Amino acid sequence: VSPETPEATTDAKPKVGGETIDVWTLRTRLWEVQKDSHLLIGAGVICAAAGGSLPLWGFYYLTDFLGQLFQPLADNIQSGVESDSLAVGLLAVGVLFAVTGDFWCFNIAAVRLGRKLRSNGLSAFLRQDMSFFDAEANTAGDLVAFLTEKASTVQALTSDALSNIVRILACLVTVLVVCFVFGPWQLTLALLGIFPGLVLVI
């Protein structure tokens, strides 16, 4: 086959139904399919951000709690320990609710998306001519495996991958804020220098 023929050319853009589309269009279509789960996804993003940020604040207050034990005055120790203990307790409750909300919101949205994708895929298969099913690659087992595999992959991207990305970004932002407010400015500048690289890696 010569390089000029369509069979030999390669296109980096994916094709859906013979139509070449870019990644942004795919994301837009996927977002439209999930229109009934937008609130759940938004709540999941908030919970994931809280789940990535609150533990770091808890660690900060825990270290401050240990520092209060070395105060010279007993009254200062008591007031400092009480305030830090309350903060750590509230943050622990917040982390519990955030992790639970993150898990439930993203997984419910992912299950809804998987159900829609399988339903739409099955409807598309049923609209095909009988000759479509005569092809060796379009047996019933292959089509069922295709629906199961692709829908499960998209579900994982919608739930686990998105949750992890939001949680990691929230963690990085919290580290920058803590270093900027409470830490030395040299450390903050160093983190700002490597922050774009970390975002690209993520």
The CA distances from residue 168 to 4, 45, 63, 81, 160, in Å, are 45, 12, 22, 30, 12
Tell me the CATH number of domain 37-201, given options 3.20.20.70, 1.10.10.10, 2.60.40.10, 1.20.1560.10. Answer: 1.20.1560.10
pLDDT value of position 158: 74
| Amino acid at the residue 107 | N
Per the CB < 8 A criterion, the answer to whether 51 and 168 are in contact is no
Report the SS3 class of residue 21. Answer: coil
Closest of 62, 93, 57 to residue 80, by C-alpha: 62
pLDDT value of position 50: 93
pLDDT value of position 19: 55
Element of type H or E holding 19? strand 19-20
Query: Per-domain residue ranges for the chain?
Result: 37-201
Per the CB < 8 A criterion, the answer to whether 147 and 122 are in contact is yes
Per-residue confidence in pLDDT tens, the chain, 202 aa: 344 444 444 444 554 454 555 667 767 777 787 888 889 989 999 999 999 999 988 888 888 878 777 777 777 777 778 888 888 899 999 999 999 999 999 989 888 888 888 888 888 888 888 888 778 877 878 888 888 887 777 777 777 888 888 998 898 888 888 888 877 767 677 777 776 666 666 5
pLDDT value of position 9: 40
